[in-house]
Amino acid sequence: MTPPPVIEAHGVRLRPFRAEDTADVVDGCADPLTQRFLSNLPAPYTETDARWWIDVGAPAAWTGGGAAYAVADPATDRLLGAVGLNNPVPARGQLEIGYWMRPAARGRGVATAATRALGEHAFAAGAARLELLTEPENGPSQRVALAAGFRYEGLRRSAGASREAGRHDLLAWVRLADDPPGPAARLLPDLPGGVLTDQVVALRRLAPGDAELMYRLHSRPEVVANQAPPVPPTREAIERRCLLAESGWLTGDIARLLITDAAGGEPAGSCGLSFTDAASGEASVGYALLPDWRGRGYATRAVRLLAAWAFGSAGVARVVAGTVPDNGASHRVLERAGFHREGLQRGRLPGLDGRRLDDLTFALLPTDLH
């Protein structure tokens, strides 16, 4: 077999694996984060496994129509991680790209650079389509996909195998040979500096550690009564919601945020924004507060902050909010933020026991915000 070419691009070197990489392969593949998201790796991962990969596994990737590169620092040639191509589908001109990085190499853009370098090489060699699959919980890998120009394409149900012999979903990110260069555009950009604040209220992205608070808030009877259908969530569902908050943001599904007191950082509630019609620029907003924070203007401030961000960074043209017709407190929040009542949609929402609920709709345009 002809030795694979060395690729130098975007500040990284892609080269074949060598025997002296053994310790660094162990360092990367035995790491708990790598083990969590690459369930096909041996556990525990030992020097024997690393030597097998260097001598047998990586060369086999090439003979199978794929590629297996060591990602090295161009200055020292020391291994930083790995990037490769597998699962070729010649009829589609398709390959799957994947990577792992040693702990010391993470957070430096190395995975993005390696993915871009190998992707460009694959397209130059005739590939038409590259797929990148990530675990829904793996936000950092999804950020690599976006930064390398891969667009979110959808959920692959039960496409991944777990160590416990079960299966789980994967998210599919795709880059085509004729896609424009640079990072992929996002429907929901990150918050500037990670937070929105008016110095009284602050909003930040929901996180896994917020699960207990969110369950306490969203299982309250008055909060449940104002959602459709009015069914309390399970603790497992709330934990999952918090765990996937970053992923929902990156895929463009929904921006979930925690409302806090800006001065003390105490949690006050939650809010969220999702596109109801991305093509026309319409998004929907929702919110809920813990009892101790109600009646103090926090919900109105949170809605204003979220709407201002939506009209600005997210490029939204119109924000809507649907409410239960008798939820007067929520109506007052929206009207103070500048929303206008637009109409009653009879029987639009699911209720209990097959019944339907009316939906009173409010809408906000950029010129309405105050």
Mapped onto helix, strand or coil, the DSSP state of residue 170 is strand
Rounded to two decimals, what is the model's pTM? 0.93
How far apart CA 74 and CA 100 sit, in angstroms, is: 18
**Confidence tier at 163 by pLDDT (50, 70, 90):** confident
Pair of tokens at residue 40: 């096909």
**What's the whole-number mean pLDDT along residues 33-37?**
95
How far apart CA 293 and CA 287 sit, in angstroms, is: 13
Confidence (pLDDT) at 162: 85
Using one digit for the tens of pLDDT, what is the confidence trace for 47-101? Answer: 999 999 999 999 999 999 999 999 999 999 999 999 999 999 999 999 999 999 9
How far apart CA 359 and CA 345 sit, in angstroms, is: 5
Residue for token pair 């660094």: 24
Name beta bridge partners: 101: 81
- Domains of the chain with CATH codes: 7-176 (3.40.630.30), 192-368 (3.40.630.30)
Judging by DSSP bridges, how do beta strands 94-101 and 129-134 pair with one another? parallel
**What's the whole-number mean pLDDT along residues 18-28?**
98
Can you give the length of the chain in residues? 370
Q: List, edge to edge, every strand of the sheet that includes 255-261.
A: 196-197, 201-205, 255-261, 267-277, 282-289, 318-323, 356-364, 340-350
How far apart CA 285 and CA 275 sit, in angstroms, is: 9
Name beta bridge partners: 174: 131, 151
User: Rounded to 5 degrees, what are φ and ψ at 183?
Assistant: -65, 155
Using one digit for the tens of pLDDT, what is the confidence trace for 301-351? Answer: 999 999 999 999 999 999 999 998 999 999 999 999 999 999 999 999 898
Q: Where are the alpha helices (DSSP H) in 133-207?
A: 139-147
Residue for token pair 């130059």: 124
> By C-alpha distance, which of 126, 132, 67, 69 is closest to 92?
126
Using one digit for the tens of pLDDT, what is the confidence trace for 199-228? Answer: 999 999 999 999 999 999 999 999 999 988
pLDDT of residue 359 exceeding 70: yes
Rounded percentage of the chain residues whose pLDDT exceeds 70: 99
Catalogue the E-assigned strands of the chain.
7-9, 12-15, 67-72, 79-89, 94-101, 129-134, 151-161, 167-176, 196-197, 201-205, 255-261, 267-277, 282-289, 318-323, 340-350, 356-364
Confidence (pLDDT) at 165: 73
Contact criterion met (CB below 8 Å) for 51 and 22: yes
How far apart CA 9 and CA 69 sit, in angstroms, is: 13
How far apart CA 370 and CA 368 sit, in angstroms, is: 6
> 302 or 352, which is more confident?
302
Give, as one character, the DSSP assignment of residue 201. Answer: E
pLDDT of residue 2 exceeding 70: no
Mapped onto helix, strand or coil, the DSSP state of residue 293 is helix
Question: What is the average pLDDT score of the chain?
Answer: 95
Residue 232 has, within 13 A of its CA and on its CB side, a CA count of 11
Mapped onto helix, strand or coil, the DSSP state of residue 163 is coil
CB count in 10 Å sphere of residue 156: 14
